[in-house]
Amino acid sequence: MTKISVGEAIVRYLDNQYVSFDGAEYKFVEGVFAVFGHGCVLGIGEALANGNHSLKVYQGKNEQGMAHAATAYAKQNNRRKIMPCISSIGPGAANMVTAAAVATVNNIPLLLFPGDTFSTRRPDPVLQQFEQPHDLTVTTNDAFKPVCRAFDRIYRAEMLYPALENAMRVLTDPELAGAVCIALPQDVQGEVYDFPEYMFAKRVRVIRRPVPSEDELGAAAKIIREAKYPLVIVGGGARYSEAGKAISEFLSEANIPFAETQAGKSTIPESSPYYLGGLGVTGNAAANTVAAEADVIIGLGTRFSDFTTSSKTLFKNAKAFVNINVSRYHALKMRGNIVVGDVKASVEALAEKLKGYRSKYSDEYVVARKKWEEESERLFKSVYSKQLVPEVKAMTPGAIEDFHKASGAELTQTAAIGLIRKLIPMDAVVVAAAGSLPGCMQRLWDTDSLYSYNMEYGYSCMGYEIAGAFGSKLAMPSREVYAMVGDGSYLMLHSEMVTAVQEGIKINVLLFDNGGFGCINNLQMGKGVNSLATEFRYGAKADTPFVPIDYAMSARAYGFKAYTARTLAELAEALNAAKKESGSVLIDIKVLPKTMTDGCVHGWWQTGLTHAPRNETQKEALSELEENIKKYK
């Protein structure tokens, strides 16, 4: 037995956790994030400061930010490593609730240790304690229950070992992976107990590859053999399964094209002859055209979100769905013919059963892709002019000119993205999450570098981008990492820029300043709603000037090297200079409003609309809603 504090027991336990995947062993926990407060600094914080362990401690600046960084770190490691996060009680803990939801929605392992109120209740109410008179067992940390895969609260030291084991069970399960919360009352953290020696022995957990049943494989093979024009959708589950090579071989044997979700992008190189790119609401015309004509859809590790399916209207000719997923819940979607198992193992087994099968495609998907490449080139060449007409249904009168006057911007967003793709290293990791950038990126960003696309679009959480870039750089220190972030997301959360400076870790922040929440302004005005509180104008009114903001100046204050780019020439100069920098860089890219990609063939998205229309645009939107609901698959 080992007599130590609960806090030290947690640290020692974490320091000895390993995972094995396909025979390769990884240390599961190499470090932790912490924002210390009175609810943790003298408990688990004392053990981290004074105890004997190998864990590196990173000082977070915002609890949500550090948990986003931990999520991106786990994602970039394909779920083979995690970075536990430690906070104080009350607001510190509550700040991590959003990040917990992000991890759970995206099936990324995230372990959270929020401080909690005293188990004895002797000093209640303590500073930052949330009191609920009808139930004295409720604390702020109960807010984690709806957004976590597992939750526990350690009232006694004896509870710790089974709680930690249960956490590891969930965190290393490909089906259940998500956020796990173990709440730590601050008095319990310091209590001493005789823990068993085996609790601190090295433990290697095998991350399994569940194999599907023969019945499910046989049924799936029969459906595909009868298909003339099938389409494969590569989702996040394919990435975490590291199934790219197996899928590529299957596609080549069967002559089947593939499209990708946001989470699945960079699983297979874009140079594959079967590549169509992203599909759905933020997809491109090539993938969506082929998807609309496909007679069988083969989903590989996808949740079939509304953006992937164009709110269930995209697959107009699909007679059947074959869904391969470790999660039976997700496999059952779209009336799926289910194959419950690891994507790589399942595809390999399915390929055996389909030997000799070839689809009826000739050059349809090649032609579709070529047309989209031509359209992409046009978008990359778009330039500012006083006659620039945005490809959106409606816009604030004079928005482009108003922002040009306020910022001097001459860049279009699509041209900026084209130049960035051309100039940054081909193996660079790009991180994004919200606004108009996910649409532009899924349509326009191609890469041959595996796992170089870290898009959080399951929860689409504004504020993930910069923290996510920091976490990605920790996971892949040899690669350049770029946060693709809008000005709205930047203002919501960029605190981990300071952590990057503090740790001497280089990240590149590419800040697209278009004067507000441009994506939502498009949605607002495109559906007949007057512009209100979506542009950064004085008083948030559409008839006032834009607020000029020097984001480069704010970055310099944190210790970043910073540039401002208003033209393609300035952007090229800044990107090239950034590559030579050893420290973190921010480029304040002034892009004209309404110059992102917007809308796409078969890319309808259901949104909440007023059913009491006030103008013609609202009437058209309501009519479009009613027509598309009839097309639901």
Give the rounded percent of residues in the chain with a pLDDT score beyond 70.
98
For residue range 46-80, list pLDDT tens digits in order.
999 999 999 999 999 999 999 999 999 999 999 99
- Cα distances (angstroms) measured from residue 299 to each of 98, 162, 254, 302, 545: 28, 36, 15, 6, 47
Report d(CA 412, CA 383) in Å as an integer.
6
Give the per-residue SS3 of 271-330. CCCCEEEECCCCCCHHHHHHHHHCCEEEEECCCCCHHHHCCCCCCCCCCEEEEEECCHHH
Tokens of 452: 């170089």
| Nearest CA among 314, 263, 284 for reference residue 604 | 314
Per-residue pLDDT at 220: 98
For residue range 300-338, list pLDDT tens digits in order.
999 999 999 999 999 999 999 999 999 999 999 999 999
The ranges assigned to domains in the chain are: 2-206, 214-370, 381-590
Residues near 349 by beta carbon (within 8 Å), at least 6 away in sequence: 211, 212, 217, 341
Question: Is domain 2-206 in CATH 3.40.640.10, yes or no?
Answer: no
Per-residue pLDDT at 633: 62
Per-residue pLDDT at 393: 44
Per-residue pLDDT at 310: 96
Give the rounded percent of residues in the chain with a pLDDT score beyond 90.
93
Which residue carries 């210390």 as its tokens?
36
For residue range 421-457, list pLDDT tens digits in order.
999 999 999 999 999 999 999 999 999 999 999 999 9
Report d(CA 36, CA 88) in Å as an integer.
6
For residue range 228-242, list pLDDT tens digits in order.
999 999 999 999 999
Q: Which fold has domain 214-370?
A: Rossmann fold (3.40.50)
Q: What is the mean pLDDT of residues 5-19?
A: 98
Question: Is domain 381-590 in CATH 3.90.1200.10, yes or no?
Answer: no
Per-residue pLDDT at 385: 67
For residue range 555-594, list pLDDT tens digits in order.
999 999 999 999 999 999 999 999 999 999 999 999 999 9
One-letter identity of residue 67? A
Contact (Cβ atoms closer than 8 angstroms) between residue 454 and residue 71: no
Per-residue pLDDT at 395: 54
Tokens of 532: 């209100």
Per-residue pLDDT at 311: 95
Helix (H, G, I), strand (E, B) or coil at 375: helix
Contact (Cβ atoms closer than 8 angstroms) between residue 566 and residue 409: yes
Per-residue pLDDT at 1: 86
In what helix (H) or strand (E) does residue 621 lie, and over which residues does it extend? helix 616-629
Q: What is the mean pLDDT of residues 4-18?
A: 98
Which residue carries 């919200």 as its tokens?
434
Per-residue pLDDT at 397: 55
For residue range 70-110, list pLDDT tens digits in order.
999 999 999 999 999 999 999 999 999 999 999 999 999 99
Contact (Cβ atoms closer than 8 angstroms) between residue 114 and residue 147: no
| Nearest CA among 410, 452, 458, 419 for reference residue 438 | 458
For residue range 508-540, list pLDDT tens digits in order.
999 999 999 999 999 998 899 999 999 999 997
Per-residue pLDDT at 599: 76
| Nearest CA among 558, 584, 589 for reference residue 574 | 589
Per-residue pLDDT at 622: 94
Q: What is the mean pLDDT of residues 371-400?
A: 73
For residue range 539-557, list pLDDT tens digits in order.
977 789 999 999 999 999 9
- pLDDT of residue 394 exceeding 70, the answer is no
DSSP 8-state assignment for residue 144? G
| Nearest CA among 409, 375, 337, 343 for reference residue 570 | 409
Q: What are phi and psi of 212, to 5 degrees?
A: -70, 160
One-letter identity of residue 90? G
Q: How many CA atoms lie within 13 A of 220 on its CB side?
A: 31
Per-residue pLDDT at 396: 57
Residues near 627 by beta carbon (within 8 Å), at least 6 away in sequence: none
Report d(CA 302, CA 332) in Å as an integer.
11
Per-residue pLDDT at 392: 43
